[in-house]
Structure 1
Amino acid sequence: MTRPHAKTRTPFWDNARFAAIVLVVFGHAIQRLTYDSDAAEALYLLVYAFHMPLFALVAGYFSSSAEPSRARMARLFTDLIAPYLIFETLWTITQFLVTGRTNLDPAQPSWTLWFLLALALFRLVLPYLALLRAPVVWALAISVVAGYLPSIDSTFSVSRFLGLLPFFTLGWWLREHDVVARAGLLAARPVWLRVTAGAVLAGVGALALVFVDTWRDVRLGTWFFFVDPYVDLDAPQWWAGGIRLAIIALALILMTAFLLLVPRGETRWTHLGRYTMYVYLLHTFVLYPFRQSGVLRGLEPSWLWIVVVAVASVVIAVALSSRPVRRLTRPLVEPRMPWLFRDRELGTGRASG
């Protein structure tokens, strides 16, 4: 009897995941420096313009539009809903210990936990969205229209789920139509293309710095969150949806440039791309004391501290995805609850389908 072949992983996607999670850590770490540094503000805007859309696109690429099986429905709970409830509880306790106040409300995700709920909603709606003609166009229309509706807010991450839906749907569409393989997008990139990609990222970063006061005035960083309706962003005009379209287009350009720079083959950190959920859920507990203490305010020279924060972000990502940390925190990040299901196998994470 022959043993089934293990599913092979493509190094590029693990490289992309790890590089993206470093950007997430860096974006959160540098936020306190933006109050005193235009350079930090520019980098913050550059990162936030595309890093969560990129995560949504990659998540969509590895999602299925098939009719949900029992195992997949169970994993939706064990992989996303249960960790959300666990970490929401931990954050409630942490905030009470630090501030003496708490507001336990699972409908309003704490800090980064919104993405778990958004990802759960993405997976729930994808089989229905895939039934439509031009699903990416529908997702784009839904995202733009949602911004006109003030009743759609951050409750259960609905506003962000709808706002980022085009990226998730596009990721699924690329996999469904085998675009990556057909276009040879995993082949080695010529030097001129990588130079162009770097120039695009540098150019957008330079524009962010040169016009940083303008971007602050128009609250561009808040637009990148895909949370608030247009009217709350001081854009009640009929053409406000065009701004979201422009932001989506910018995100696509930047993530394309970013992905062109990601190594295609195995690297020393490729395997860490499998464990980005650990970094995503745990890094906020590492950063929280620094954000709350104010030690990152008023530091001079600011450019030196930006470098320090960048290096620290890589170190944090590597440390939190390391084997000892994974062993210690696995019950929180990847809970297994066979006691919860009538079929205990569904709660072990080993059920097929």
Structure 2
Amino acid sequence: MTNISQPAPAREQKRRVPFWDNARFACIVLVVLGHALQRLTYDSDAALALYLVVYAFHMPAFAVISGYFSKAGQQSKRQMSRVITDILVPYVIFESLWTMTKWLVEGRANPNPTQPSWTLWFLLALGIFRLVLPYLALLKWPLLWTIGISIAAGYMSNIDSTLSLSRTLGLLPFFTVGWWLNEHDLVRKLGLLRHRQWWLTASSVAVFAIAGWATWTFADTWRAVNLREWLFYDDDYSSLGVTGWWAGGVRLALMAVALLLMTAFFVLIPRNTHRWTRYGQYTMYVYLLHSFVLYPFRESGVLRGLEPSWIWLPIVAVASVAIAVGLSSAPVRAIFRPIVEPRPKWLFADSAWSSPGGRDNDPTGSRRDTPATPRKERQ
């Protein structure tokens, strides 16, 4: 009897899950909103309340998403080159742009690449997250280790904003949580992306309502204890005015609050595809460019003393969404792609390491739809 070899079945492609794009876009809108609100918080308790709620969880949520799409296994040379092309090169480009902007507008500049300008700290954090993840994956209790590292870093005054190390170590547990969820396939096993029960939605709304009430009602208290600075994960405890041994407990409590708020946030994120879902593939454009849009408004003082809050806060919120949509648009991407997604072939021994074939996702793990990769098959 003659054996006839059957063709191997085609490898099943993962379908793109719109939830993650929706979550990315919602996170980047919150980033823009948080930066737009900053000047309003000096004169408005309502603005401060919204600002504190946003800052309590939005960057931890971004770290979780980034960790979810990060791999701890052996990296190919192409994957290793991505740390350079997607993180280090854009960082150098935008740090240089900010240095020139400050020199032209403010008449001063500090060309020090070890001190990230404004939003650029997260790029360095992503790079460090990727570099340390393979080592964290070797540990028996990576989540507990990173929580301990985050808390311990706050006691050390020599760990500061140089190379964004303080914020990186502070947010490392959230990145690790994201990786851990994917590593153990918990999102699928627990059915976390299935249809939401009504009580989950109601509970999540209640969580945000309580958070908003607490931040608004006790606004003066939060100002007095520098809560805003605590949420940055940037300063050591003594710089925040706490020298007691229990200072690490404050950070632990804030991490617990962040976990609760981001859980409620993820519950409320739509599971289906919407017209704006595709913008979640281009969050790096918004992240790197929105600060240049907001800079004139923040520095000119036009965002100070805007009353009443019930009128201006919705306007700022709508404007933040518009900025995020505009910076995600195709024309903006076409213009700024050379600096947001540079492909410096001259930098590598093998130019293929920076070729488009290896650049279908950004540093947060958002995979792009390309002509060679059908939209319905990619996540």
| TM-score scaled by length of structure 2 | 0.91
What is the identity, as a one-letter code, of the residue corresponding to 1:343? D
Match of 1:227 in 2: 234
Match of 2:325 in 1: 318
Match of 1:111 in 2: 118
Answer whether contact 1:337 1:348 (CA < 8 A) is retained: no
Q: Report the alpha carbon displacement of residue 165 of structure 1 after superposing the two structures with TM.
A: 0.5
Q: Report the alpha carbon displacement of residue 191 of structure 1 after superposing the two structures with TM.
A: 1.8
Match of 1:174 in 2: 181
Answer whether contact 1:197 1:257 (CA < 8 A) is retained: yes
What is the identity, as a one-letter code, of the residue corresponding to 2:36? A
Instruction: Show structure 1 runs of 4+ deviating over 4 A.
Output: 1-7
> Structure 2 CA distance, aligned partners of 1:178 and 1:19?
23
Matched, 1:84 2:110: no
Match of 2:161 in 1: 154
Q: Report the alpha carbon displacement of residue 286 of structure 1 after superposing the two structures with TM.
A: 0.4
What is the identity, as a one-letter code, of the residue corresponding to 2:234? V
Which one of the candidate residues 125, 130, 138 is aligned to 2:137? 130
Q: Report the alpha carbon displacement of residue 7 of structure 1 after superposing the two structures with TM.
A: 5.0
Match of 1:211 in 2: 218
Q: What is the 5 A alignment of 1:132-281?
A: 132-281=139-288
Q: Report the alpha carbon displacement of residue 268 of structure 1 after superposing the two structures with TM.
A: 1.1
Q: Which has the larger radius of gyration?
A: 2
The RMSD of aligned alpha carbons is 1.5
> Structure 1 CA distance, aligned partners of 2:148 and 2:16?
33
Q: Report the alpha carbon displacement of residue 193 of structure 1 after superposing the two structures with TM.
A: 1.2
204-213 vs 342-351, greater mean Cα deviation = 342-351
SS at match of 1:49: helix
SS at match of 1:215: helix
Which one of the candidate residues 341, 344, 348 is aligned to 2:348? 341
Q: Report the alpha carbon displacement of residue 68 of structure 1 after superposing the two structures with TM.
A: 2.1
Q: Report the alpha carbon displacement of residue 72 of structure 1 after superposing the two structures with TM.
A: 1.1
Structure 1 stretches of 5 or more lacking a match?
Answer: none
Q: Report the alpha carbon displacement of residue 38 of structure 1 after superposing the two structures with TM.
A: 0.4
> Structure 1 CA distance, aligned partners of 2:355 and 2:164?
27
Matched, 1:72 2:79: yes
Q: Report the alpha carbon displacement of residue 266 of structure 1 after superposing the two structures with TM.
A: 0.7
> Structure 1 CA distance, aligned partners of 2:37 and 2:146?
32
Q: Report the alpha carbon displacement of residue 302 of structure 1 after superposing the two structures with TM.
A: 1.9
**Superimposed CA distance per residue, residues 193-246 of structure 1 (whole angstroms, 9 cap, x where no aligned partner):** 101101101111110000000000000010000010111111111110000000
> Structure 1 CA distance, aligned partners of 2:358 and 2:335?
24
**Superimposed CA distance per residue, residues 274-298 of structure 1 (whole angstroms, 9 cap, x where no aligned partner):** 0000000000000000001101111
**Superimposed CA distance per residue, residues 273-325 of structure 1 (whole angstroms, 9 cap, x where no aligned partner):** 00000000000000000001101111121221111000000000000000110
Q: Report the alpha carbon displacement of residue 57 of structure 1 after superposing the two structures with TM.
A: 0.6
SS at match of 1:12: helix
> Structure 2 CA distance, aligned partners of 1:176 and 1:66?
11
Q: Report the alpha carbon displacement of residue 189 of structure 1 after superposing the two structures with TM.
A: 0.5
SS at match of 1:204: helix
> Structure 1 CA distance, aligned partners of 2:129 and 2:320?
28
> Structure 2 CA distance, aligned partners of 1:152 and 1:237?
18
What is the identity, as a one-letter code, of the residue corresponding to 1:245? L
Match of 2:290 in 1: 283
| TM-score scaled by length of structure 1 | 0.98
Which one of the candidate residues 10, 29, 51 is aligned to 2:17? 10
> Structure 1 CA distance, aligned partners of 2:301 and 2:154?
34
Match of 2:304 in 1: 297
Q: Report the alpha carbon displacement of residue 5 of structure 1 after superposing the two structures with TM.
A: 6.3
SS at match of 2:84: helix
What is the identity, as a one-letter code, of the residue corresponding to 2:160? D
